[in-house]
Amino acid sequence: MARSILDEDHIHPAIRETVAGHHADIVREVQSAVASNDVVVVGMAQNPFPKKARKALDAAGIPYRYLEYGSYLSNWYRRNALKMWTGWPTFPMVFVKGVLIGGASNVERLIKSGELQRMLSGRSS
């Protein structure tokens, strides 16, 4: 199922640059990390779920890059740009080989099933 995104034709030309540039720096930073690391965890301070995802990856011996953006009380507006970019509503956002796989429970499930290791090795299921 394709995610619904407002088509550019339905955004007034006078605001397109504002929409496209909204906290583009944080999106570019995550895109760069995803392009240069097999596993990236994007999280925030004080949220237990990024810690849970990192703990699961550590226990499985899977290296990752961690990016942290603010806390519940800070940088929510910057993190919102990541939510709009990915369509994923919560943190962490975990990427494996450039693919958003979800959050902490998704990481745990993929580790348990062996699928995460297959994704990293390039083997099919």
DSSP letters for 4-21: P---GGGS-GGGHHHHHH
Q: Does residue 1 carry a pLDDT above 90?
A: no
State the DSSP code for 88: -
Determine the 3-state secondary structure of 93 from DSSP.
strand
Tell me how far apart the terminal alpha carbons of the chain are, to the nearest angstrom.
22
Predicted model pTM? 0.92
Q: Average pLDDT in the 58-80 region? A: 95
Q: Does residue 2 carry a pLDDT above 90?
A: no
The rounded distance, in Å, linking the Cα atoms of 93 and 79 is 11
Q: What domains can be seen in the chain, in order of their start residue?
A: 9-121 (3.40.30.10)
